Every structure is written in C-alpha cells, then in structure tokens.
Amino acid sequence: MKTDFEKQFKADGNFKLKNYSTDISSKIKAADAKERLKEIRKELSAFQEKLYAHNRYSVLVCLQGMDTAGKDSLIREVFEEFNARGVVVNSFKTPSALELQHDYLWRHAIALPQKGKFGVFNRTHYENVLVTRVHPEYLLHENIPGVETVNDLPEDFWKKRFEQINHFEAQLVDNGTLLFKFFLHLSKEEQKARLLRRLEKEKHQWKFSPGDLAERKLWGRYMSCYEDALRHTSPAKAPWHVIPADDKDICRFLVASILLERLKTYKDICYPQPGKEIKDHIRQYKKQLEQE
C-alpha cells in the first residue's frame, strides 16, 4: 500500500478544494485500511509513551469538517490504544459567556496540551473563520470594539484573522508543539446518506437537529470559506491535510498514517536515560529486590 500520505494530501497556497477527492476507495480498500489501522495505532500508542517520558514536545491534532464527517468516531478509533493520561480531547462548540469575555483564541490557548501529551481539538480555532464567516452575526456576541453591526466589519477583517491564527500556530510550533491539521473532506451526497441513517436508527436520532438541514442549505458557502481558510493558513510549519472522508475506515487510516509518518521523523524523542547513580547500582538494586 502506498505511503508518504503526508505529501499526497497536503494543502498549499494554491489550494483548490475541487482538486481533492472525497472518495478514494478505488485506490485504497476499506478492509485493508481497517486492518492496517490496527497496527498503526499500536505504533502511535508506543510513541505516546515515549513522548510522555521525554517530556519536551506536545502533539496537537486539529480536526475540522462538516457535520457527520466522522470526527468523533475517528478520535475513538485512532486513539483507542492510547493511555488515557496521555491524550486530552476538547470539543469547541458555541462559546460560553465566560469565553466571550476574552479574545477568540483564548479558549483554545488554555486547552493546549501539556508537554508530553497529545491534545485533540474536535472542531478548532478555525470555527472563528468558518462558522462566523458564514454567520457573521455571531461576531456581534464578541463585543469587538467599533463593531455594532456586521456592516461595521473592516474589509480586511478575515485576512487579519488568518494572520493572527498563523502567528498563534507558529508560536506553538516554535515552542515544541507538533501540530497536525486535518480537514475531513466529505461530499454533500455522503452527508445526506449519513443524516438519513441518523433518522432511521433510533439510537442515533438524538444526534439529529433541524439545524443540520438549515446548515446543509449553506453547503456552497461553507466550502468557499473552507477553501479560503485552508489556502491562507497552510504554511510549511503548520500545513493542512485534506482527507477524503466519504469512507470512514479509509479516513481514519489516512489520518493515523500521516501522524505516524511525521512523528517518526523526530529522532530526538526518546526515553530518558537513568542518572549515573542508578546506572552504577542497577545490579545492586536488582539483587536487593530479588532477595526480598
């Protein structure tokens, strides 16, 4: 099975969403992807233990995608083998009253993973240039100086937000955060099928909201905003990867593969060596325990 998925699915400054497929099941079989994922997540789990012991880097995995793109199940499947102490998942929905009393990046900054840990953002700081761009009236809750109506937004408002996000991420990377950003690229047709399945299966009906249908009518607007956001926020230090998401098994496999491919390049991440005192007396300590 072909590797080097990191380069294959990376977005660049000339990014065009139409150039990325939502379905590559003709190239990768779902059954093969599901089987290979079992081995990859074991390797990721082993790396997590090493990262935790090394305590110099953190890993942040950012997941964006339309509703039903499979973010929740991806997190469950890819990180299944992880020690619970080493991975923290945060889901960013409508900002709380407290969060609105701070700048829009605050709630994301305080949720960043500690050194030695993995953090997963299920929906991310990019909601602030996606949902709020499709629904600019939401910005009025932020009490931005000089903005009383959406007509007060400066022409360069979104450009500045892209720049702010790029600076935010550059600072993270420069200080030891290994940053991964995945857009789960789902087709409108597949979303329809998944929404129908939610309605048909009683145990999944709680996930459905009439708002899902209203947002679906804005699909074109969302795709335009995603394309613009990804094009302006995919520098070499913090690139986006556009993952075909019509098949969940393939999507999970690709995300896990890209994580493992890049993490393996950090050769300095290793288990710390014991101090001289322990090294010089290992036999003595072992003998002492054996004689108990």
Which is nearest to 17 in space by CA: 258, 216, 225?
225
Asked whether the beta carbons of 129 and 137 are under 8 A apart, the reply is: no
Res. 1 pLDDT band, cuts 50 70 90: very low
Q: Is the pLDDT of residue 164 over 80?
A: yes
Q: Is the pLDDT of residue 13 over 80?
A: no
d(CA 99, CA 107): 6
Res. 78 pLDDT band, cuts 50 70 90: very high
Enclosing H/E stretch for 99? none
pTM over 0.85: yes
Asked whether the beta carbons of 113 and 79 are under 8 A apart, the reply is: no
Instruction: For Cα atoms 37, 93, 160, give the angle at the middle one, nearest 5 degrees.
Output: 100
Domain residue ranges in the chain: 5-290
Centre a 10 Å sphere on the Cβ of residue 82 and count the other Cβ atoms it contains.
16
Res. 101 pLDDT band, cuts 50 70 90: very high
Q: Tokens standing for 48?
A: 């997590």
Asked whether the beta carbons of 118 and 79 are under 8 A apart, the reply is: yes
Which is nearest to 58 in space by CA: 124, 122, 121, 117?
117
pLDDT tens column, 263-277: 999 999 999 988 878
Tell me the H-state helices in 99-186: 106-109, 131-134, 157-174
Q: Is 48 helix (H, G, I), strand (E, B) or coil?
A: helix
Sheet holding 177-185, edge to edge: 87-91, 118-122, 58-65, 177-185, 240-244
pLDDT tens column, 196-224: 999 998 888 888 888 889 999 999 999 99
Average pLDDT, the chain: 94
pLDDT at 218: 97
pLDDT at 287: 87
Q: Tokens standing for 125?
A: 């700081």
CATH code: domain 5-290 is 3.40.50.300
What percent of the chain has a predicted confidence (pLDDT) above 90? 83
Q: Tokens standing for 70?
A: 């499979």
